[in-house]
Amino acid sequence: MTTNISRALFEQVGEGRGFQLQIKRMPPLDGLSFNYHDVPEGEPLCRFDADGFLEIAVNLGRAAPLLGIQVEDMVQVEFFALR
């Protein structure tokens, strides 16, 4: 599932800080993957797609049905405070 969060906006707001991505009631995701196989089969991940938008995916699966997410669900990205 692709969000409307661009890489440029993510990097501008995040300023290199760590983050947690929360969607629905699933456990938060707290890192970016470069490839789908960066996580075990069936596990969720977030990455930037070829068009530069944040994608929520499942390695070797379909995120929407497996995670119970829909097009209009809110995605929240919380960046950690600078130390």
Average confidence (pLDDT) over 48-76: 94
Q: Which range among 7-21, 34-48, 57-71 shows the weakest confidence by mean pLDDT?
A: 57-71
**CATH architecture, domain defined by 2-79:** Beta Barrel (2.40)
Q: What per-residue confidence (pLDDT) applies to 25? A: 81
Q: What is the pTM of this model?
A: 0.89
Average confidence (pLDDT) over 44-59: 97
pLDDT at residue 8 tops 90: yes
Domain ranges within the chain, ordered by starting residue? 2-79
pLDDT band at 24 (very low <50, low <70, confident <90, very high): confident
Average confidence (pLDDT) over 59-68: 92
> How many Å apart are CA 20 and CA 41, to the nearest integer?
21
Per the CB < 8 A criterion, the answer to whether 76 and 22 are in contact is yes
> How many Å apart are CA 14 and CA 75, to the nearest integer?
15
